[in-house]
Amino acid sequence: MNNNIYNGAQTPYVPQPVTPKVKEKPVYSKAETVLSVFVFIAAFCFVRYVVFHAMGFITTGLYIAIITAAIIYLRKKECKFSKFNKVLTGVLYLFTIVFSITANNFIKTLDAIFLFGAGAYLVYSVGADNKNVERFLPFAICKAIFEYPFSNFEKQATITSDSLSSSKAGSNAKYIVIGLLITVPLTAIVASLLMSADDGMDRMLTNIFDRIFREELWNIILQLCLAIPCSLYLFGMFYTNTHLNGLATLDENRCKQSMYNMRFISNLIVYTAVTPICILYVLFFISQASYFLSAFAGNLPDGYTYADYARQGFFELFAVALINLGVLCFMSVFSKKAGREKTKTLKFYSIIISVFTIILIATAMSKMVMYIDNYGLTKLRLYTSWFMVLLALTFVMVIIKQFKFDMQFAKHFSIMFTVMFAILCFSRPEALIARYNIEMYNSGYLEELDIHAILEMSDDALLVALDEGEVTADEVNDHKKKLYQRDDFGSYNIPALIVDIKTE
């Protein structure tokens, strides 16, 4: 006990100085700082040379730079590339070539979407140290494209703010910007008064304003505004996949539980709901057998032209195929006994629907081939035919899956889709269309060659027509300037450069 208590004395209170807690600033590596700058430049170039302008060599170089920067950053963060990830990287590099070898904007747009999704998945896969395609690929894609990038969406802004505030040059730049913002209104007022006072000053300042504030400047400002969220997204993607602390990684058990929780419909209800559809399909096929199967024999039913016969049957069967795909997905996802517990009855229904759909697709393709033999190829006919083949292969895989449950459906579907997409891109569809139609016309199978349709296509088709002598340089020059892909950077691809040389 303190003696002061017994003595009745009180110890004087001496206040202790309170040390303010200093908020620790997060420390970022030099790699993050360099990446932040590069990503913003890359995002601006992406908006300018992918979104706003036609694409060509510049876009190929841009994607190569982004992929290479991603590899360097991931290796800098000590991420390992498995054999699978190295193959995926090679696939990405391969598809960057598409922008340079074709002038078809539709194909290049599809390729840009493919590279975006596959690139996001590559960064995710390297960060997760994947050795193969996940069994639950849709969950992984959602994490790669949505969850991970947006979980650190603001991180680049934080790094930029901290970097500027911690450096003298950054602080000075901030003060300069503030000063310019303050002086803008005053400068505008003074300029307006001077222009009113003197005609010479009015003409000079008007000329200056016209040169500075022209349409291209506003385009650049808009592109910069769009580049900001793109940059934040890309940086968030890179940063999150190399800083997974506290983030829920993909767990197969959790995915299985999520899939199990979705199974709430009794199998008997599913059988009852699907049975009338199957019966209806069978009756429909029997009643229309002579109509649909005549396509295999190359015969045209009475009362139909080739155009009516192929168009009506094809798109009807196309819709049925899509509906059947939806029914299969519904059965597999929502039935109570699915997955490893999948009943033989459910497998039977899956096989029956798949087989029936494959027959319908084969019929539709036969009708389309008959149509093409008589009227030639068009973009719509080629693209829809490609998609129908893709659907048929998907249903074949569904049938195999019913007999072999351990088959890695996501892996095989990814490989199949990538191969099919590569065939579509590297075949340069419009060049294929022009070459086929010209050869069929010269062989006498086509009554006339639609030159106008070829001239309305991209430089892929124009180059083939020029080489075959079906169009002249003057005809090409009259039409190519009207096409969107000939604007700005649209001429920076191999077919366009060769067409320019041939039409000089």
pLDDT at 6: 45
C-alpha 50/C-alpha 38 separation (Å) is: 17
Total residue count of the chain as it appears in this document: 504
**Any bridge partners for residue 335, and if so which?**
265
C-alpha 330/C-alpha 338 separation (Å) is: 11
CA angle in degrees (0–180, nearest 5) for 187-193-199: 120
Six-digit token pair at 399?
Answer: 């049938």
pLDDT at 11: 53
Closest CA to 115 of 164, 180, 70: 70
Torsion on CA atoms 72, 77, 79, 85, rounded to nearest 10: -30
Dihedrals φ, ψ of 265, to 5°?
-100, 130
Task: Say if CB 317 and CB 360 are below 8 A apart.
Answer: yes
Task: Say if CB 466 and CB 473 are below 8 A apart.
Answer: yes
Task: Say if CB 446 and CB 373 are below 8 A apart.
Answer: no
DSSP string of 228-246, one letter each residue? HHHHHHHHHHHHHHH--TT
Six-digit token pair at 29?
Answer: 């590596």
C-alpha 19/C-alpha 22 separation (Å) is: 9
pLDDT at 1: 47
**Any bridge partners for residue 265, and if so which?**
335
pLDDT at 91: 97
Residue at token pair 């209806």 = 280
C-alpha 105/C-alpha 121 separation (Å) is: 24
Q: Which residues contact 194 (CB under 8 A, 6 or more apart)?
A: 201, 205
pLDDT in tens, the chain (504 residues): 444 444 544 555 455 555 544 444 556 778 888 899 999 999 999 998 888 876 789 999 999 999 999 999 999 998 999 999 999 999 999 999 999 999 998 999 999 999 999 999 999 999 988 999 988 899 999 999 999 999 989 988 888 877 666 666 555 656 666 776 677 677 767 767 767 776 777 677 677 766 666 656 778 888 899 999 999 999 999 999 998 876 767 888 888 888 888 888 888 998 898 898 888 878 877 766 666 555 555 565 666 666 666 666 667 777 888 888 888 998 988 888 887 788 899 999 999 999 988 988 888 888 788 888 888 899 988 998 999 999 999 999 999 999 988 888 999 999 999 999 999 999 999 999 999 999 999 998 888 888 988 988 888 999 999 999 998 888 888 776 665 445 555 678 999 889 888 887
